[in-house]
Amino acid sequence: MLSTRNLTKEFPGVLALDKVNFNLEEGEIHGLVGENGAGKSTLVKVLSGVYPPTHGEIYIKGEKISFNSPKDSLNLIGVVYQERELIPYFNGIQNLFLGQEKSRMGFLSIKEMMEEALNFAKKYDVEADLNTPVSQLNSGKQEMITILKILFRKPKIMIFDEPTAPLSLKESETLFNLIRQLKKEGITILYISHRLEEIENLCDRISILRNGKMVCTVKKGELSQKEIIELMIDKEFTDQYPIIDRTIGSDLLNVKNYCCIKKGIEDISFHIRAGEIVGFGGLVGSGRTELAKAIFTGTKKDQGIVYLGNQNLKSKKPSHNINQGLVMVPEDRRNEGTLVQLSVSENLSLPHLNNMSSFGFLNFDTIKEHVSNIVKALSIKIFSLKQKVWTLSGGNQQKVSLGKWFGKDAKVWIFDEPTQGIDVESKREIYLIMQKLAKDGCGIWFISSDLRELTAICNRVYIMKDFKIVSEFSKPFDSKALLSAMLGGNIDG
């Protein structure tokens, strides 16, 4: 269906794709895996016309093709990117028909479009409120509307780039069923994910990229997960969840009877101690992120007390809370954790400019030294401190998002889904960073939808459901009981 010959893409100082030979067979589900920075996203953008190749050729059904822009590829290749491409103030129907609206005598045929959109969603068993502005929907619903929008153009090839990252368990299963249905309809699927269990369950063949080169393509079941990981990182993979011994101290964050009606939060109590990693588990929409953001930003509460160390945290400004020692690495690293149009240096130095200037003038030598030390400490892969953050892989963007707080003397770090959409080696590095911070006496508030990582590195885990804490667990963890608490029922067997 699709093939590439010696496909190469160069950026200044970076060889992103190096003579990649790759092929998709018609009607297959083909998995693509690799570390962050391996070239997966670049390959997708070259295939779909976002970037022109520096060298090499692309063929569809044996015919050489060349896309001058993504618009040229729309009817052949549909891409569901990690960053959703929706108009936030349009509803689902308006987003679906954007650029292909139906009209009669100069007037939009709203009823006809609504009926067609609802039937289309029903065809793929997608539950989404198509009449609500998408900005008011949760990330999972937005993702499903994005997928419907791409499918609506009836492409021959569908590319999914980390599609389950924002989805709940139920939404993920809906997506998998949809993908299997697309395969039955003869649509060719390229599925990119860091979740190897998804790759193994869904895909007919798997290709592995490493440092811009195609390592190999294998059939389903030919390699174990461990062997796939070792080919991705080019070394033996031993310990996915490293553990650093830590001493647990006294409370650093103590929240009592916290209530914020504006955010839907009522009567929340929990505590985090020095040296402790405390997990917050739950399904998408359970209120974990809303709770963390409310406390971090100082959203006006209706009742309750928040102690940071020995201080009553009364501030209504995030800047004051940051100065008191509370920092947050948000889930949406591109829109909330970094300024992607600015450079790595600008992002890492921005929170510290008051300490890196005198009489209104920036000390660029101090800034360079500070930023260089963070890049080295976190192993951020860049070719220049001036490199724009949007050009970095997801894992390196995440390191910039958390690295900007280094030097702030933080007591409590909030990590919201920090390993979402990054590769196994980058995940391991994030786990190590959190544990080193805890070893140095910080408290870690760790929000995750991955039960395995919560049970592997946390000292305690709170489970949230419907904006309430419903359970608290300590080591040794019972994964079955944790899952039961998340789902709100009993798990048998």
Please state the rounded mean pLDDT for residues 8-37.
83
Domain ranges of the chain: 2-233, 251-487
| CA–CA gap between residue 9 and residue 209 (Å, rounded) | 14
| CA–CA gap between residue 451 and residue 469 (Å, rounded) | 16
pLDDT tens-digit series, residues 99-124: 777 777 777 777 878 887 788 777 77
| Mean pLDDT across the chain | 84
Q: Are 393 and 36 in contact (CB under 8 A)?
A: yes
Determine the Cα angle at 136 with ends 130 and 140, to 5°: 70
In the chain, the amino acid numbered 481 is A
Q: List all residues 6 or more positions away from 332 whose beta carbon is below 8 Å from its beta carbon.
A: none
pLDDT of residue 489: 47
pLDDT bucket at 238, cuts 50 / 70 / 90: low
pLDDT at 236 over 60: no
| CA–CA gap between residue 301 and residue 266 (Å, rounded) | 10
pLDDT of residue 249: 93
pLDDT tens-digit series, residues 293-349: 999 998 888 889 999 988 888 777 888 888 889 999 998 888 888 998 999 999 999
pLDDT of residue 492: 41
CATH topology of domain 251-487: Rossmann fold (3.40.50)
pLDDT of residue 438: 94
pLDDT tens-digit series, residues 450-470: 888 898 899 999 999 888 899
- Residue 154 tokens read as 């009836």
**In the block, which residue shows the tokens 């996203």?**
41
pLDDT at 1 over 70: yes
- In this structure, the chain runs to a length of 493
Least Cα distance to 3 among 50, 56, 49 occurs for 56
Percent of the chain's residues with pLDDT above 70: 96
Residue ranges with strand state E in 261-395:
265-273, 277-281, 303-308, 311-312, 326-329, 357-358, 361-362
Is 2-233 assigned to CATH 3.40.50.300?
yes
H/E element holding 65? strand 63-65
pLDDT of residue 305: 92
pLDDT of residue 412: 95
pLDDT of residue 493: 34
**What order of strands is seen across the sheet that includes strand 188-192?**
77-80, 157-161, 188-192, 29-33, 205-210, 213-219
H/E element holding 80? strand 77-80
| CA–CA gap between residue 403 and residue 421 (Å, rounded) | 18
Radius of gyration of the chain (CA): 24
Other Cβ atoms closer than 10 A to 186: 10
pLDDT tens-digit series, residues 32-84: 888 766 788 888 888 888 888 888 888 888 888 888 877 777 778 888 877 67
Q: In terms of pLDDT, which residue wins out, 131 or 257?
A: 257
Q: List all residues 6 or more positions away from 245 whose beta carbon is below 8 Å from its beta carbon.
A: 439
| CA–CA gap between residue 296 and residue 329 (Å, rounded) | 10
Can you say whether residue 211 is alpha, beta or left, with left for phi > 0 and alpha for psi between -120 and 50 degrees? left
Q: Are 252 and 273 in contact (CB under 8 A)?
A: yes
Please state the rounded mean pLDDT for residues 158-185.
81
| CA–CA gap between residue 154 and residue 75 (Å, rounded) | 7
Q: Are 139 and 150 in contact (CB under 8 A)?
A: no
Among 8-12, 135-139, 188-192, the least confident range: 135-139
pLDDT tens-digit series, residues 249-284: 999 999 999 998 888 888 899 999 999 999 998 877
Please state the rounded mean pLDDT for residues 406-410.
87
In the chain, the amino acid numbered 393 is S
pLDDT at 447 over 80: yes
Q: b/e map of 331-367 (b: 16 or more CB within 10 Å)?
A: bbbbeebbbbebbbbbbbbebbeeebeeeeeeeeeeb
* Alpha-carbon distances, residue 113 vs 8, 105, 155 (angstroms): 42, 15, 20
- Chain mean position to CA 266: 28
* Alpha-carbon distances, residue 303 vs 260, 262, 465 (angstroms): 7, 12, 20
H/E element holding 228? helix 225-233
